[in-house]
Structure 1
């Protein structure tokens, strides 16, 4: 694989890893190249971002690398966050919300195991709308963040407590849980349509 292609793959991996970011060793293992080459690719990417008119940059926190927005553009990101959300949530976001509501506290990896797809964007959407929140960290390797629904979640959907969620039948297998989550977010879609 050419260096330019490897750089593109590193960029994509950093983007896909979201807030968790990636270490040089993780990138080396995935790309099946040595650590020195990964470090060189990261330096080239940093240079590219610093010396062209780009909106993102690579940030290093301890041994972890992340893609992030440039601080000099922060005024625009603040405006984005202050803009009222008038668009409806995507099906993926509603499905993720349903899974969190029923399975909380739950990690992003566990959500992805249920959905079968990456859920970074959906989780970020739900966090930005304050429908979910970080409720702690799972014990074990990496201590992943646990997510749960927020008070705003209850308000948004007209619930007084989580006990008002439709109960799931006992002894459900994974397919049943996914089916119930589908029904759940379809109901949310209807509620959301009524609210808008």
Structure 2
């Protein structure tokens, strides 16, 4: 495998590893090369990022390698976070978040039973946005992961505690799951004033 292709693969692995990063040992194992060869690829990538006009850089911390943004561009990232559009969630993600907020702790299967559709994508989006987190496993068959909202969730929606969530109308039964989801969504949209997009 040529070095240019390997560098591209390493770059993709660094991006995919996100905040957790990746170790040299992991790189060498995934690429089936020696750790010294992996280190050489990282050095080449570092050189590429440092000597071309790029917005990213490679950082090493405690033997973990991360792909990150350049500190000198931080003022622009702050502006991005202040831009209302950057807070938009899809309807599917918003529905999923509402269900988790009101029913936490809850498993992915339980979310899907309420929504009536697979929720892998929305759940992953919410994890990536730090709005929900894994809080352990349910003590049932298969020990599924339980999800709950995070402190960032409260900040994102301008809340100081979960008690401030808007009250949902009382529902006698759970016969119409889709109607329940609509209520969640409408309430979040109205009370928390969050834009949604398809």
TM-score range, shorter chain: 0.5 to 0.7
The structure, 1 or 2, with the larger RCO (C-alpha pairs under 8 Å, 6+ apart) is 2
Question: How many residue pairs were aligned?
Answer: 161
Residue by residue over 1:128-157, the C-alpha shift from the partner in whole angstroms, topping out at 9 and shown as x without a partner, is xxxx3779899xxxxxxx96344457767x
Match of 2:186 in 1: 190
Q: Matches of 1:84 and 1:42 in 2, distance apart?
A: 36
TM-score, scaled to structure 1: 0.61
Alignment counterpart, residue 163 of structure 2, candidates 152, 160, 170: 160
Residue by residue over 1:85-133, the C-alpha shift from the partner in whole angstroms, topping out at 9 and shown as x without a partner, is 4763025643663575445499xxxxxxx955696654343x3xxxx37
Q: 1:78–1:87: structure 2 CA closer, same or farther, 3 Å change rule?
A: closer
- Whether the aligned pair in 1 keeps the contact of 2:22 and 2:64 (CA below 8 Å) is yes
The range that moved more, 3-12 or 82-91, is 82-91
- Whether the aligned pair in 2 keeps the contact of 1:105 and 1:148 (CA below 8 Å) is no
Q: 1:34–1:92: structure 2 CA closer, same or farther, 3 Å change rule?
A: farther
1:183, CA displacement in angstroms? 8.0
Question: Which protein has the larger Cα radius of gyration, Structure 1 or Structure 2?
Answer: 2
Match of 2:62 in 1: 62
Runs of 5+ consecutive residues of structure 1 not aligned to the other structure? 107-113, 139-145, 167-179
1:47, CA displacement in angstroms? 0.4
Q: 1:41–1:74: structure 2 CA closer, same or farther, 3 Å change rule?
A: same
Aligned Cα root-mean-square deviation (Å): 4.0
Runs of 5+ consecutive residues of structure 2 not aligned to the other structure? 108-117, 138-146, 170-176
- Whether the aligned pair in 2 keeps the contact of 1:58 and 1:65 (CA below 8 Å) is yes
Q: Matches of 1:149 and 1:61 in 2, distance apart?
A: 26
Match of 1:170 in 2: none
